[in-house]
């Protein structure tokens, strides 16, 4: 892993630990805490990290995203009407087709659901690649996508 990616990963792990330990009201406080922990941090890097991590700002400070649960299933149900098709591409990739402009929203909902079989998603305008670690997990994913979105694999 390149040094910059390692720094970002360590910074994000530390941000998660800090936020889990208590309320942080300002990004500048978080930057200071990260620097005190010996990590490189700027306001802009912390802002990007918070956004990418799904951190939300509440009235008493920043908070980590909620753990997966019913609310994420409801989120998937809300975006189900945008999903148009499902195909496989190799032994560990599922390809979802969506309505134009909906792929990012659907992919975000999948990411937030934190399904254990999903390694990650990559979305464009109307297409999402959903990666799994292997063929058995791909089969689990296909079954789950079918149930949640009411679709079957296009052949």
Asked if the structure places residue 43 within a domain, the reply is yes
Closest C-alpha among 66, 50, 59 to residue 18? 50
Same structural domain, 45 and 74? no
Q: Which domain holds residue 59?
A: 3-63
Same structural domain, 17 and 44? yes
Which of 63, 91, 106 is the endpoint of a domain?
63
Asked if the structure places residue 32 within a domain, the reply is yes
Burial of residue 154 (number of CB atoms within 10 Å: 0-12, 13-18, 19+): exposed
Global pTM reads 0.55
Asked if the structure places residue 111 within a domain, the reply is yes
Asked if the structure places residue 154 within a domain, the reply is no
Reported as a single tens digit per residue, the pLDDT across 69-122 is 444 567 888 899 999 999 999 999 999 999 999 999 999 999 988 888 899 999
Mean of per-residue pLDDT scores for the chain: 87
């Amino acid at each position: 892993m390149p040094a910059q990616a390692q720094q970002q990963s360590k910074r994000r792990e530390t941000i998660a630990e800090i936020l889990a330990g208590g309320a942080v009201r300002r990004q500048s406080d978080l930057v200071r805490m990260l620097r005190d922990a010996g990590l490189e941090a700027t306001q802009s890097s912390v802002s990007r990290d918070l956004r990418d991590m799904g951190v939300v700002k509440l009235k008493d400070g920043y908070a980590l995203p909620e753990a997966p649960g019913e609310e994420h299933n409801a989120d998937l149900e809300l975006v189900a009407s945008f999903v148009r098709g499902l195909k496989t591409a190799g032994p560990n990739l599922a390809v979802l087709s969506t309505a134009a402009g909906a792929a990012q929203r659907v992919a975000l909902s999948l990411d937030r659901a934190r399904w254990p079989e999903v390694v990650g998603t990559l979305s464009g305008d109307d297409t999402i690649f959903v990666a799994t670690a292997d063929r058995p997990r791909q089969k689990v994913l296909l079954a789950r996508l079918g149930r949640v979105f009411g679709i079957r694999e296009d052949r």
